[in-house]
Amino acid sequence: MLLPRILTAIVGIPLVLAAIYFGGVFYMAFVSAIILLCLYEYGLILLTAKKPVNRVSLIVFGILMIIGAVAGRADVQMGVPSNIPSFFMALSLAGIFFVEVITPRRSAERAANTLLGVILIPWSLAHLINIRLIEPYGEYFTYILFFTIWATDTGAYFTGRFLGKHKLNKEVSPKKTWEGAIGGTVIGTAVALFCWNLFFPWYITAVQAACLGLMISVLGQISDLAQSILKRSSGVKDSSNILPGHGGFFDRFDAFLLTVPVLYYVLLYILP
């Protein structure tokens, strides 16, 4: 299982780093493609478990959420407080329930499952675009985000494999251990500090960088477990088998779901 993970990483990591480096339309298209693939896999998970979900609404209102997040960031860049993301969220909420109202076989559960997918995936992950657009160091913060999450995931995997004895939550994720979680957090935070020292040691302090790394690492693992709850409740191990050794795109980006919006607002309102 380790070899497919490594081979997928060899192909995938340079692609992600190239998208971050070039930024602009290329990076937006990359993130949008990831979001749509995650939405597709989210719909597959629910349909596999015979849970109702409106897959057309997932895509339509998912795209609206991406547009709203990016448009809101453009306002902030011009110094204008933006309510655009809130407007698009309200529009998506109304739209999802409107579609359900006019559907012959109405279902509150289908509306709820659809709304969860739209908020959990496009609304959250669209903030990847917003972080990259933060001036002057959005590119560097994006690198820190990805490297910290990757290091946390890798550190947790190997620490848990060789030292893990105490299960973190057997029902949600049988293989994860407390030792793995702690090891992943330590390694992730250390990598965040390394990236800070490499990119911009003059911009924020070492303590701030360590706090960012710790936050990303811990939130990433909580986000991973949150997605595991969804899969376990649906009786699914992986969201798909598109990425050998990693499952699907929804599995590969699960750690970003809860982490990315929190990081964006911390960078926007707390750090200089």
The pLDDT tens digits for 4-25 are 677 777 888 999 999 999 998 9
Q: How many domains does the chain have?
A: 1
Q: What pLDDT does 240 receive? A: 76
What pTM, to 2 d.p., does this model score? 0.92
- The secondary structure element, H or E, covering residue 19 is helix 2-22
121/38 Cα distance (integer angstroms): 7
Among residues 111, 118, 117, the alpha carbon closest in space to that of 96 is found at: 111
Give residue for tokens 């290091």: 151
pLDDT of residue 85: 78
Neighbours of 196 (CB within 10 A): 22
Would you state the pLDDT for residue 81? 53
φ and ψ of 243, to 5 deg = -105, 105
Give long-range contacts, CB 8 A cutoff, 24+ apart: 46-52.
46/113, 46/117, 46/234, 48/234, 48/235, 48/236, 49/233, 49/234, 49/235, 49/236, 51/109, 51/113, 51/234, 52/107, 52/109, 52/110, 52/113
Domain of residue 143 covers 2-269
Q: Which portions of the chain are predicted below pLDDT 50?
A: none
> Which pLDDT value is given to residue 264?
92
Q: Is 101 helix (H, G, I), strand (E, B) or coil?
A: helix
- pLDDT of the residue at 14: 93
Q: What is the pLDDT of residue 272?
A: 66
Token reading at 161: 């494999």
Element (H, E) at 158: helix 138-163
Cβ atoms < 10 Å from Cβ of 121:
27
> What SS3 class is residue 198?
helix
Query: b/e string for 67-77 if b means 16 or more Cβ within 10 A?
Result: bbbbebbeebe
Percent residues over pLDDT 70 in the chain:
93
Task: Please give the Cα distance from 233 to 54 (Å, whole number).
Answer: 19
Angle at 122 between CA 11 and CA 32, to 5 degrees: 45
